[in-house]
A and B are shown apart, each in its own frame.
Chain A
Amino acid sequence: MKNITLTIDGQQVIVPEDYTIIQAAEKLNIEIPALCYDPNLEIAAACRLCIVEIEGSHKLQTSCSTKVKEGMVVYTESEKVVMVRKELLQLLLDSHPNDCLTCQKAGECLLQKYAYRYEIKFKDHQGAKRPKLIDTSSPYILKDNSKCILCGKCVRTCNQVGERQVLSFAERGYDTRIVLDADQTFATSKCVSCNRCVAVCPVGALIDKRQLGKTRVWDADRKTINCKVCAYGCEFEVLSKNKKNIAIRAKSPSNGRPLCLKGRLTTELMNLDNPDTPYRKIGGKFVESSWAKTLGLSDIMEKIEDVEKSKKSD
Chain B
Amino acid sequence: MSNSIGEVEGNEVLFVIGSNATEAHPIIGNKMKRAVKNGSKLIVIDPRRTELAEMATLWLPVNSGTDAALINGLMHIIVKEGWHDKEFIETRCTGFENVLEVIEQYPPEVVARITGISEEILYETAKLYTSTKKAGIFYTLGITEHTTGTANVMNLANLAMLTGHLGIENAGINPLRGQNNVQGACDMGALPNTFPGYQNLSEVKNIALFEEFWNVKLNPNNGLRIPEMLDEALKGNVKAMYVMGEDPVLTDPDANHVKKSLENLDFLVVQDLFLTETAKFADVILPATCYAEKDGTFTNTERRVQRVKKAVEAPGECRLDWKILSEIATKLGAKGFDYKNSEDIFNEIRLTTPSYRGITYKRIGKVGIQWPCPTEEHPGTPYLHKGTFPRGKGLMIPVEYEAPAELVCEEYPILLSTGRMLYHYNIMTRHSKKLDDIRPYELAEMNPVDAEKLGVKEEDFVRVISRRGSILTRITITDKVKPGMMFMTFHYKESPVNELTNSAYDPITKTAEYKISAVRVEKVEKVEKELELAK
Per the CB under 8 Å rule, do A and B touch in the complex? Answer: no
Q: Which residues of B come within 8 Å of A, CB atoms?
A: none
Q: Which residues of A come within 8 Å of B, CB atoms?
A: none
